Amino acid sequence: MKRIALLVVLTVIAAACTSGDAETTTTTTTTIAETTSTTTTTVVETTTTTTLLASPPIAEEGDRNVTVEAIQFLLGCDGYADLEIDGSFGPATKAAVEAAQAALGRATTGAVDEDTMADLSRGCAQARELTPDADPVAVVGNAAPTDPEVFTIALLSRSTVSVALTQGTGILVTVFDPDGAVVTPVADGTWEAATAGDYRIEVGAEAAPVTFTIAVGVGAAETGDWVLATDGITYKGTELSLGADADTVITKIFDFLDHGVRGNYNEFDTGWYAITDPQDMGLRGIFIEGFAFLFYGPDPNNLDRPKTLARIRFEGPSDDAAGNPRPDNYATTAKGITVGDTLTDLMAAYGTGVRSGSNSEEHYYRYSDSGGELCFYFGATTPTDASPILEIATECRTG
């Protein structure tokens, strides 16, 4: 009996034409025929591999924009390359894109299309850190209904973050505070930070995955009705400067809030006289809704010495005339810091401009400029990041 083996290999390539690179299907068919003197048996084995079709590119070599920044971040997040996120689509970015496309089963065009962008976004579980300044910055991402794009942003207390959609449809934006609680917007597309920390912005899609562009902006922390400065204080645009005529300042205070003025502020008598400290000759204190306005009186050895505003202390707001508590930011510094804010808030606003110090009874941080100094007090215990500011004054107690 004779056995004859016949091997026939046929390769069929079918290509579908599109506006971009084509989806390509390669089919290999192997036919084996075995013949004996009585029977013939045929076995057919087929193997098919498919390269996914590419749609028009949204970024390619030579581009320089925020879309490329997003792609470079995602390529690094997914482990395809360690790229500098500079928004410039050069040879290194192209090589990383080609490596990603090969791994994802897509045409290795080296250009990123919508579907490749979606694949890269789905593979990245890392939040992207945003650092916008005073002007809104454009940010590109790709969101899916079950996989939002996530960003983090550091905010000061009472500062705001705004998110506006500039490209894409069906986008949902949610902001979470440092504890993970949802923040209620104060206006359409604007959220306010109640405390300082890292906030999370989630951009989700209502239906299908979509590449979007948003404009993210950060607003400075709002200042209060009273604004403390190293050289005085401002109330709704009216400045009361250290060294100003005491009678004029006192008259202004009564004009502002005469119902809240009370005399005899703790350590200071309300009359004019020379006390034991020769530097504090004749101090008068007027206490008004959290403030101590302290004035120099006449020198007993020089009765013609003018009475002037000497310094200011703020220990926190009290109730208004109707008995309602005043807001926490009733009085702030020019950078938005007030009594009740923490050391973290203070350092975020002033950085190396404030330096720690202490006297025999309390710890403070001192901020100085050409106009004088501001002193932020934290009490008898060495402050930690979460320690609240107990008092702000225009002069540090160093005794």
In this model, does residue 49 exceed pLDDT 90?
A: no
264, 257 in Cβ contact below 8 A? no
Helix or strand or coil: residue 196?
A: coil
pTM: 0.68
pLDDT of residue 262: 53
| Domain 133-219 CATH (choose: 3.30.70.330, 3.30.1520.10, 2.60.120.380, 3.40.640.10) | 2.60.120.380
Q: How many CA atoms lie within 13 A of 87 on its CB side?
A: 7
pLDDT of residue 356: 96
Extents of the domains making up the chain: 4-51, 57-123, 133-219, 226-393
Bridge partners of residue 369, in order along the sequence: 372
Architecture of the domain spanning 57-123: Orthogonal Bundle (1.10)
pLDDT of residue 318: 80
β-pair type (226-229, 331-333): parallel
Q: Report, as an integer, the average pLDDT of 109-122.
A: 95
What type of residue is 266? N
Bridge partners of residue 341, in order along the sequence: none
In which band, very low, low, confident or very high, does the pLDDT at 160 lie, cut at 50, 70 and 90? very high
Q: Report, as an integer, the average pLDDT of 153-179.
A: 93
- What is the side-by-side strand order in the sheet with 232-235? 238-241, 232-235, 226-229, 331-333
> Of 222-231, 321-330, 337-346, which range is least confident?
321-330
To the nearest whole percent, how much of the chain has pLDDT over 90?
54
275, 357 in Cβ contact below 8 A? no
In this model, does residue 69 exceed pLDDT 60?
A: yes
In which band, very low, low, confident or very high, does the pLDDT at 217 lie, cut at 50, 70 and 90? very high
How does DSSP assign 80-140, residue by residue?
A: S-----SSB--HHHHHHHHHHHHHHTB---SSEEHHHHHHHHHH--PPEEE---SS-EEEE
What mean pLDDT is reported for the chain?
82
pLDDT in tens, 131-154: 877 689 999 999 999 999 999 999
H or E element at residue 74? helix 66-77
Bridge partners of residue 45, in order along the sequence: 30
Is it true that 57-123 and 133-219 share their CATH fold?
no
Q: Report, as an integer, the average pLDDT of 6-16.
A: 32
Q: Residue 133, exposed/middle/buried by CB under 10 A (0-12, 13-18, 19+)?
A: exposed
Q: Report, as an integer, the average pLDDT of 329-334.
A: 92
pLDDT of residue 295: 83
How far lies 263's CA from each of 266, 269, 278, 313, 316, in Å? 9, 8, 23, 15, 17
To the nearest whole percent, how much of the chain has pLDDT over 70?
77
* Residue 269 or 398, more confident: 398
43, 6 in Cβ contact below 8 A? no
pLDDT of residue 12: 32
Query: 86: which 2 tokens?
Result: 């500079």
Distance in angstroms (rounded) separating the CA atoms of residues 386 and 20: 56
pLDDT of residue 28: 47
Q: Report, as an integer, the average pLDDT of 347-365.
A: 93
Nearest to 356 by CA among 369, 372, 343, 340: 343
339, 314 in Cβ contact below 8 A? yes
